[in-house]
Amino acid sequence: MVTVKEPREQVFNGTFDGNDTAGWFSAGTALAAADGRLRVQVPGGTHQPWDVLVGENDIRLSANTPYAISFTASAGRPVTIKAQVQLSDPPYTATWSQDVQLTTNQQQYHYSFTSSLDTERGQVSFQIGGSGEPWTFTLDDVSLVGGEPWEWYVPKTDPPVRVNQVGYLPDGPKHATVVTDAPDPQSWQVVSGTGEVVASGRSNPRGLDTSSGQKVHTIDFTAVTTAGAGYTLRVDGQQSFPFVIADSVYEGLRRDAAHFFYVQRSGIAIDDALASGYARPAGHVGVPPNQGDTSVPCQPGVGDYRLDVRGGWYDAGDHGKYVVNGGIATAQLLGQYERATIAKTGNPAAVGDGTLGIPEHGNKVPDILDEARWELEFMLRMQIPDGKPNAGMAHHKVHDRGWTGLPCLPDQDPQVRELHPPSTAATLNLAATAAQAARLLRPFDGPFADRCLAAARTAWKAANDHPAVYASADDTNGGGAYDDTDVRDEFYWAAAELFITTGEQPYLDFLRSSPYWTGDAFRNTGPDWKFVAPLGRIDLATVPSRLADNDRDAARSSVREAADHYSQTIREQAYGVPIGDNEYTWGSTSVVLNKLMVIAAAFDLTGDRRYRDGVLEGLDFILGRNALNNSFVTGYGSRCSQNQHSRIYGHQLDPRLPRPPAGSVAGGPNPGLEDPKAKKVLFHTPSGERPKPQFCYLDDIESWSTNEVAINWNAALYWIASFAADQRQPDKPDGPHRIGDVTVSLGENHQVNVLVPVGWSLHVESTAPGR
């Protein structure tokens, strides 16, 4: 943080120029601006003034210091509101409060006071609730002058030498980016932990990187292959953060990225013995003050029944649980297990029983399947039972009726829980993941696999009976909307998983009729919760099934084509990332990771090391080789994200609570800056210009649009971390072998795993004595 003197105005964007509401928040209504003024439609039927309010947080207040506050306001009809300067957190102590009588004409109001508070978490607010009838509130020219000068935010990004702060595989690619104005190549040295220069060379000038606004050079030190810790890269007197070179460099990340899901579990007490520092009571098991999730009613007008929807994972920073986001997260956990059993570099032992700290370890089921099952059982509970309207469909989501504050542990959530309407997208997510789980869990729990397949078939039929039931984009009170009005990709994905699992012709016939059968199933985005066609295409290309050879070849060709496109972007970007300037968005780290998954699939299909190396280089961006010189994964790197938006991991606001667990990935740079905190801090620059895409990130718990945790993002991190860990130099027998549609691999304790399509019979005959 760099202090720059300027007028002591504490309110950011109090004039709403250009109808911009940056920095402001609302409760009980939606923010809107028109004609350069804040214009809010105040709903009727509220009881208390604070039921509806608008304001700005992060106001710095100094005790015993005079302030002058002023604003211009009017109302659609005469009304009295309350203006306050107060704490933004409990106990919400006010240092100034004033009843203000508004008229239909714009009037200026001026007041002064001496602050009794000393805080950086002050709030200017206007309480406008308590009216039986709706009205319009107009506000402009809000100013609070006094106290200390505002501090312009300048992120700490030194040193200018950017590396993967975790490290590199001995036989993997090793690239770095250097921020420098030097027009000519610069000398560099790789220095070992003992101080020995082990490699040197000259950098490659790359000019202006438009995603960061920085002039940069790149360095390739792939030739350094000796394992060791404490390596650094020196360029022009500057030294990088330390890194390691080791075969095991990604093993911890694989484990921690998966363990994140245990700590996110709903409906079970988190055991300190399994997650030290994260113990908490079970959330949402019907124990007061919770009002869920053992008997949750439908929203008014949705249904007259209740469902037991306990379990699953808390989706992100809130306490909501969403079938669509749970779908892709579950699929990627299941998919990485399936990859371990069929890919040449897969390692089933690394994802087997006992590899994660979860309650189910030791049950002879691979731990990652146990973890995926925890969410899947919740998704099954979200399916509408027989005899009810829309039976067989899945409710889109379950969450609180209203937003809770930060922080709030799950067992302390007092809000009413509600089942939201079913959607075609949620129903197809259930169909796809349940079908995928049926084939993977069958060797370990046949009855549950049968239940999954039956639920998948039921959901498939229900989705076809109701092919255009969409979640509302306006359903955002207490939870995210996760709206989607194009479900052709969900139909394609579900049909693919059902066909792979059953081999039945109707599912193949549907696939052939889908626009994604021959169309672009990857786009420029790769997979995400709203576009899941890539999941179906990758599985059709990589998983043994009854798909005809020519159709499988076409699927494989499309994977390679998408991977080539993403790999080209990596080569073009000075930070080695598979996204361009316009692809930094909400959850940009997951966009990177999901594109890397496509490239990894191409490697599995071809064995071409260029794809493998592209995945590893792309992972460098996540782990520190970026404009911010920040690893977006908690606990990994010398400088890493550690204040992600979460009601559970609220250490930044309450030191008694933990930070996010190691292995939690932050959403990442997002020029949209949808949250007030990010807008206020990142838009408030000396030049007045918006920051470049890579700098649109704030490691702050209140920046939910750049710094949230989410299960789908961590699932992508787990998938890639597991792939990367599997690329260590071979120290085990050859990986799985494919013989036609049958895959044979060596598992734990020399167990032989045989994967065959559903409906096949298997005869095993030993030719080795005693085996």
Active site residues: 318, 645, 699, 708
Name, in order, each residue with C-beta under 8 angstroms of 694's C-beta and a sequence gap of 6 or more. Answer: 211, 212, 575, 584, 626, 627, 628, 669
Contacts of 593 (CB under 8 A, 6+ apart): 622, 665, 713, 716, 717, 719, 720
Tokens representing 383 are: 């399916």
Contacts of 478 (CB under 8 A, 6+ apart): 318, 320, 399, 400, 401, 402, 403, 415
Q: Cβ contacts of residue 746 below 8 Å, gap of 6+?
A: 348, 733, 752, 753
Q: Which two tokens stand for residue 152?
A: 């312009």
Residue type, 363: N
Structure tokens at 448: 């549950």
**3-state secondary structure at position 231:** strand
DSSP 8-state secondary structure symbol assigned to residue 490: H
Distance of CA 382 to the CA centre of its chain: 22
Take residue 602 and report the two structure tokens written for it.
Answer: 């191409």
Q: Where are the alpha helices (DSSP H) in 518-587?
A: 533-542, 549-572
Give the C-alpha separation, 670 to 694, whole Å: 8
In whole angstroms, what is the distance from residue 337 CA to residue 497 CA? 15
Could you give the CA distance from residue 760 to residue 546 in angstroms, rounded to a whole number? 11
Cα–Cα distance measured from residue 466 to residue 472, given in angstroms and rounded to the nearest whole number? 16
Residue 355: which of 747, 684, 756 has the closest Cα?
747
Angle, in degrees to the nearest 10, between helices 251-263 and 711-726: 160
Query: 79-87 and 151-152: which strand pairing?
Result: unpaired
3-state secondary structure of 535: helix
CA-wise closest residue to 704 among 644, 633, 652, 771: 644
Contact 422, 469 (CB under 8 A): yes
d(CA 305, CA 387): 11
Please give the distance of CA 270 from its chain centroid, rounded to a whole number.
Answer: 22
Separation between Cα atoms, residue 318 and residue 471, nearest integer Å: 19
Rounded Cα gap, residues 713 and 724, in angstroms: 17
Omega before residue 443 within 30° of 0, cis: no
- Between CA 43 and CA 48, with CA 47 as vertex, the angle to 5 degrees is 100
Closest CA to 55 of 32, 28, 23: 23
- Own/partner pairs, 38-41, CB within 8 angstroms, 24+ separation: 38/137, 38/138, 38/139, 38/140, 39/136, 39/137, 39/138, 39/139, 40/128, 40/136, 40/137, 40/138, 40/139, 41/134, 41/136
126 half-sphere exposure, CB direction, 13 A CA radius: 30
| Phi, psi dihedrals of residue 751, rounded to the nearest 5° | -70, 140
- Residue 609 φ/ψ, nearest 5 degrees: -65, -20
